[in-house]
Amino acid sequence: MKAQDYPRQVQELIARLKRMPGVGSRGAERHALWFLQHGRNDARALAEALLAAADEVGSCPQCGFFSQKGELCTACSDPARDGALLCVVEQPTDVLPIERCGTFRGLYHCLGGKISPLDGVLPEDLSVAQLLERVKKAPGCEVILAVGSDVEGETTALYLAEQLAQSDCRVSRLAQGMPAGAGLGQADAVTLMRALEGRKGL
Amino acid sequence: MKAQDYPRQVQELIARLKRMPGVGSRGAERHALWFLQHGRNDARALAEALLAAADEVGSCPQCGFFSQKGELCTACSDPARDGALLCVVEQPTDVLPIERCGTFRGLYHCLGGKISPLDGVLPEDLSVAQLLERVKKAPGCEVILAVGSDVEGETTALYLAEQLAQSDCRVSRLAQGMPAGAGLGQADAVTLMRALEGRKGL
């Protein structure tokens, strides 16, 4: 006698769900059973959504954010945006957090990563040449380096500042300091050091 | 100027992922971005697995466990199983935990729920008639009531025991007592009471 298991298709579905980040064996099984018991239409709709996203979504040829395949993203094709303000981020996924803060009216440039020789990511793996090209086409623009404040992010920012030194543009970096709403007890030593260095007169 | 959002297909994918139980807005967004950035082939494979599961998996016409649509499940079609031992569970999802304990060699019967008038589930909503029919075809069999030990489970067990009283079968109920590996401190009062009631001579 063989112990009974789920039908082949259910086992395959569980295996596929388990590949998603943060989904373990139990979670994948729970999801699969939910689709079978309550959500067959949901399963079909999610399948369609997955195929549409995988097949129809591409990268904006100008900034690298997600867009309809082969088309400019909504920011790059919006004439109301300020083309003289370029916000450089590591990943396309860094764009939405900035959009959601609601005050940035310029365009983006997604590098595709950060310089990290240990992980095999060198400057030529990032879209630095395209950035220099964009800056050349918008003389007098401001380039905001909105890369992370970890070691690789700082390295990337320094490298970009050097590369941009010959271009006709101002280069700025996101402020570092206390996060909003935090007490002194929650800030680590480096954050406090940066907050002290960057203190402002009132 | 409109704030930029993800392309329509990505928003749809996030909305679809969010319908899964236990997946919130942040998790759905993280999953969707993972599919776009690292897993386009994973997205297509998951879509196929979802469609296969939704379209090809049905219920075993005899016991109600998952099976290839229109076919008996692997337990019901296994001649090595003991047809005189029927384990009655609430849901198809209760079958695998019993299979995994590795000692049960009989067949299953999935009721499709438990009696719960407050939730509108009455005995006629469960596959009780089919159970009586199966018992009639296997005179002298044993019916193990493996429904939950909550109020609705107990109600369902009592109701089934009454219905089966006229049939030629023995009726048993899963033992209640201390969970394996637990100290007395972890057991609640009702569990301890049941464990005392059901104590066994050594």
Chain B: closest CA distance from residue A36 (Å): 7
Distance from first CA to last CA of chain A, Å, rounded?
80
**What is the distance between the alpha carbons of residues A19 and B9, in angstroms, rounded to a whole number?**
21
In angstroms, the CA B26 to CA A188 distance is 26
A chain contacts of residue B81, beta-carbon cutoff 8 Å: 1
Contact (CB, 8 A) for A88 and A126:
no
CB–CB of A126/A159 below 8 Å?
A: no
Give B146 to chain A, closest Cα distance, Å.
17
Is the ipTM higher than 0.90? The answer is: no
Q: What's the CA gap between B200 and B202, in Å, rounded?
A: 6
Of A144, A126, A140, the C-alpha closest to A86 is A144
Predicted TM-score (pTM) of the model is 0.77
SS (H, E, C) A178-189: CCCCCCHHHCCH
B74 to chain A: closest CA residue:
A4
Backbone conformation region of residue B199, classed left if phi is above 0, alpha if psi is from -120 to 50, else beta: beta
Q: How far is CA A113 from the centre of its chain?
A: 9
From the CB of residue A111, how many other CB atoms can be counted at a distance below 10 Å? 25
Do residue A50 and residue B46 have CB atoms under 8 angstroms apart?
yes
- Please, what sign has the CA dihedral across residues A14, A15, A21, A26? positive
**Given this model, what pLDDT does residue A178 score?**
83
pLDDT in tens, chain A (202 residues): 677 888 889 999 999 999 998 899 999 999 999 999 888 889 999 999 999 999 999 999 999 999 999 999 999 999 999 999 999 999 998 898 888 888 888 999 999 999 999 999 999 999 999 999 999 999 999 999 999 888 999 999 999 999 999 899 999 988 888 888 877 778 888 888 888 888 887 7
Tell me the chain B residues in contact with residue A52 when contact means C-beta distances shorter than 8 Å: 9, 12-13
Of B21, B68, B112, whose CA–CA distance to A5 is shortest? Answer: B68
* Distance from the Cα of residue A13 to its chain's centroid: 28
Residues of A in contact with B37 (CB under 8 A): 91-93
Å from B55 to nearest chain A CA? 8
